[in-house]
Amino acid sequence: MTTRPTSFAVDAEDRIVRTSCQGEMAAFLGHPLWEYLPHAEKDLRPHFEEARRVGEVVTAVIFYGGRLIEMRIAPTGQSLAVDVTRAVPLELSSLRTLAASLSSFEEELGARVPGRHDRPALASRRALP
């Protein structure tokens, strides 16, 4: 996450309205977040929708850009304030490290499906092949 900001905010249309990053993301101010994070909408938007729906802080865990990313999404008026609190890179050095990494990610991703607050049954936690 070296080029990714640690915090940003989006409006009701998911346009970037604030960022703590002075680099790449700042150039996307006023643009949809999905232009800055291509193909992230499918995984991230349900968490945004949940935060808007419940009107409370939501903690989301998604996989994006080779990392497991944990973020805190806080509704603030018409916008959402997003803080990236953790980014764990996928270990790609060998099949052994990849398998261990995927196993750990699978646990976290399966436990953080939007709208599901209890831990899922083992059989339904197949987030990864």
| Interacting residue ranges for other proteins, rule: CB under 8 A | 38-40, 42-43, 62-66, 90, 92-95, 98, 102, 109, 127-129
CB of residue 44 vs other proteins: minimum separation in angstroms? 10
CB of residue 46 vs other proteins: minimum separation in angstroms? 13
- Whether 55 contacts 45, CB under 8 Å: no
**Which CB, 84 or 90, lies closer to other proteins?**
90
Tokens 């909408």 belong to residue? 41
- Whether 100 contacts 91, CB under 8 Å: yes
CB of residue 36 vs other proteins: minimum separation in angstroms? 13
Residues 9 and 110: their CA atoms lie apart, in Å, by 26
**Which CB, 12 or 128, lies closer to other proteins?**
128
**Which CB, 26 or 113, lies closer to other proteins?**
113
CB neighbour class for 76 (10 Å; exposed up to 12, middle 13-18, buried from 19): exposed
